[in-house]
């Protein structure tokens, strides 16, 4: 659900950048007050895991579309909403800057849609009341699935509303929303199952993480070495190998645009959009999660070679996944460590 700049006007993009910056400042202040030393590494490791997991698009049967884990809810459950917002912001910033996944102008929209709604709406108002003070496997599972579905539904509607208010894509509101909501209902259900699976694993290995994150308590007395080890291994395996098995179908947003506009990608307007596109092209050293390709004249032979294969065994994809996961880990950890440092002063 990474929005491209072609959907967003400078006014809407700027407003969402401002809203996201305000939320980030609020989250940083809360994290600075509440953070403890043992939560900081978890921010980095979980950020890397979600980055890797987002590389795996899963097919939505009978639609020709696909989806991927958003991760905002998972992060909120394990870290609390404020630390989760900063971590998902790290993921989306790395993706936009170095992998050209989501536009720079639309980055504020993407962070808001994929960070604010799951962390500050779905988690406190749906997940926490359903789980209650005495979590059980059944409650954790049901709450995770329902919260993921509702959070993604709100996020998908946010995409439609931001696109409509921008008014530069000429996508009709009614047709767009009637495609976006159902396809993201299916995607949200799968994300909920994935989130619930991870949560139940952590509940089994280190239930104190879930109990203390819900109450914003310190992680000081928690032993989570096995959880961190498992997440690191899962990140490397996912980014380095499982990413080959990602669906080649367009994601829910791309699929909706194609069905409404009749084309996979919308033309990027000139002006600030073009300037930002040039900047992104220069910065993104692993565009589309692979090494930069030199352009060659199209021929029948090259077109045949360009046909997508599954699984897409590609060392470039593996390298991109591992590099991106590492960059996300470093950025999220640095943010947490920096806030912890300033809190002591």
The per-residue pLDDT for 295 is: 61
Distances (CA, A) of 89 to 177, 220, 262: 25, 25, 32
Cβ distance 278 to 90 under 8 Å?
no
The per-residue pLDDT for 304 is: 54
The per-residue pLDDT for 208 is: 87
Q: What is the DSSP string of 193-215?
A: HHHHHHHHHHHHH-HHHHHHHHT
The per-residue pLDDT for 107 is: 98
User: Which are the contacts of 41, defined by CB distance < 8 A and separation ≥ 6?
Assistant: 228, 333
User: In CATH, which of 3.20.20.60, 2.120.10.30, 2.60.40.1080, 1.10.1760.20 is domain 5-265+310-343?
Assistant: 1.10.1760.20
Q: What is the pLDDT along the chain (345 residues), one digit of tens a residue?
A: 899 999 999 999 999 999 999 999 999 999 998 877 888 999 999 999 999 999 999 999 999 999 999 999 999 999 999 999 999 999 999 999 999 999 999 999 999 999 999 999 999 999 999 998 888 999 999 999 999 999 999 999 999 999 999 999 989 999 999 999 999 999 999 999 999 999 999 999 988 888 888 777 777 778 888 999 999 999 999 999 999 999 999 999 999 999 999 887 888 888 999 999 999 999 999 999 999 886 656 555 555 555 567 888 899 999 999 999 999 999 999 999 999 888 776
Which residue matches tokens 């590494």?
Answer: 41
Token digits for 141? 């599972």
Spell out the alpha helix ranges (H) of 35-136: 39-54, 72-79, 81-99, 107-111, 128-131
Give tens-digit pLDDT for 120-149: 999 999 999 999 888 899 999 999 999 999
Give tens-digit pLDDT for 215-273: 777 777 788 889 999 999 999 999 999 999 999 999 999 999 999 998 878 888 889 99
Give tens-digit pLDDT for 215-225: 777 777 788 88
Spell out the alpha helix ranges (H) of 113-242: 128-131, 137-166, 173-205, 207-214, 225-240
């Amino acid at each position: 659900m990474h929005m491209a700049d072609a959907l967003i006007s400078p006014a809407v993009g700027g407003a969402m950048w401002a809203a996201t910056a305000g939320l980030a400042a609020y989250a940083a202040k809360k994290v600075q007050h509440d953070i403890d030393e043992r939560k900081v590494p978890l921010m980095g490791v979980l950020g890397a895991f979600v980055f890797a997991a987002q590389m795996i698009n899963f097919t939505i049967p009978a639609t020709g579309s696909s989806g991927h884990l958003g991760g905002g809810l998972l992060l909120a459950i394990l870290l609390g909403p404020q630390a989760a917002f900063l971590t998902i912001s790290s993921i989306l910033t790395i993706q936009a800057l170095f992998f050209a996944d989501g536009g720079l102008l639309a980055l504020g929209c993407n962070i808001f849609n994929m960070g604010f709604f799951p962390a500050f709406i779905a988690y406190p108002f749906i997940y926490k009341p359903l789980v209650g003070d005495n979590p059980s496997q059944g409650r954790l599972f049901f709450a995770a699935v329902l919260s993921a579905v509702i959070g993604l539904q709100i996020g998908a509607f946010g995409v439609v509303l931001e696109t409509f208010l921008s008014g530069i894509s000429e996508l009709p509101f009614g047709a767009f929303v009637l495609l976006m909501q159902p396809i993201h209902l299916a995607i949200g259900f799968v994300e909920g199952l994935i989130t619930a699976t991870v949560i139940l694993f952590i509940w089994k290995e280190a239930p104190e993480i879930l109990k203390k994150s819900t109450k914003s308590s310190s992680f000081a007395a928690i032993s989570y070495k096995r959880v961190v080890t498992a997440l690191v291994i899962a990140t490397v395996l996912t980014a380095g190998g499982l990413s080959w098995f990602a669906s080649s179908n367009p994601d829910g947003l791309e699929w909706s645009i194609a069905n409404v506009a009749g084309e996979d990608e919308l033309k990027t307007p000139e002006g600030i959009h073009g300037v930002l596109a040039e900047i992104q092209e220069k910065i993104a050293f692993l565009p589309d999660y692979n090494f930069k390709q030199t352009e060659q004249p199209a021929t029948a032979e090259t077109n045949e070679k360009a046909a997508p294969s599954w699984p897409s065994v590609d060392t470039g994809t593996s390298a991109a996944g591992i590099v991106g996961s590492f960059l996300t880990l470093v950025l999220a950890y640095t943010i947490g460590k920096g806030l912890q440092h300033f809190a002591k002063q």
